Amino acid sequence: MRLFFSSKADANHPLIQACNSLGFEFIADSQLQFEAIEQSPSKPYEVVFFSSPRAYTFGKSFIQRDTKIACVSSGTAKYIEHPVDWTGNTPQNPIQTAQDFRAWVGERRVLFPVSDRSLGSISNAFPKAQIECLDVYKTILSPKVIPPCDAYIFTSPSNAEAFLQRNALPAGVIVFSWGKSTQAYLQERKVESTCILEESTDWTATLTRWINR
């Protein structure tokens, strides 16, 4: 059994541990590259929202002494080296996350450090006058040929897009989508997801359930 994961994964990643315990071959290879974009906010803000660990990496310089910090999920919060004031708990449902975040923000102004390919899933819930979306990094598609696999895990719409530029999905394979945005992109490409994943996924149980069914 061979499993593809469209992101990098270190030796301690729970998905690698699950594959090792189940005897699966594992390929982890991001289909993306990233470059910083030098920009500065043009408007005052009281809250900064990070939609991913990478958004934090490229946007953490905008955290000021009195800035409130919010992030999309507990998975992203683990990478933030500052006290986090608000954390979303529905990473698989960006619409719900956006509603919850807006309720917490109230009338405060928000800065969103984002990729130049951001879908604006959270920021779109706010009036334009209340926010600033700042492109702080460029997402570059870097498609690679991947050997045929039995199951594929796509971690973002951009990774799925890059993958499909150089690869085709064999008939009958299992396709895992990380979140509804990835699922929606794959549906546009006529690819149906077998399962929608969350950051709190129990990898061993999930792989056993879907691959050995």
Structure tokens at 156: 């973002």
pLDDT over 70 (residue 200): no
Burial class (CB in 10 A: 0-12, 13-18, 19+), 36: exposed
Task: Supply the CATH classification number for the domain 2-31+142-211.
Answer: 3.40.50.10090
List the domain boundaries for the chain.
2-31+142-211, 36-139
* Predicted confidence band of residue 213 (pLDDT cuts 50, 70, 90): low
Q: How far apart are CA 110 and CA 74, in angstroms?
A: 20
Q: Which helix (H) or strand (E) holds 34?
A: strand 32-36
37-82: pLDDT as tens digits: 999 999 999 999 999 999 999 999 999 999 999 999 988 999 999 9
Percent of the chain with pLDDT over 90: 76
Task: Supply the CATH classification number for the domain 36-139.
Answer: 3.40.50.10090
pLDDT over 80 (residue 211): no
144-158: pLDDT as tens digits: 999 999 999 999 999
91-104: pLDDT as tens digits: 778 899 999 999 99
The pLDDT assigned to 210 comes to 84
Instruction: Of 70, 45, 49, 68, give the one whose Cα is nearest residue 59.
Output: 49
- 2-31+142-211 matches 36-139 in fold: yes
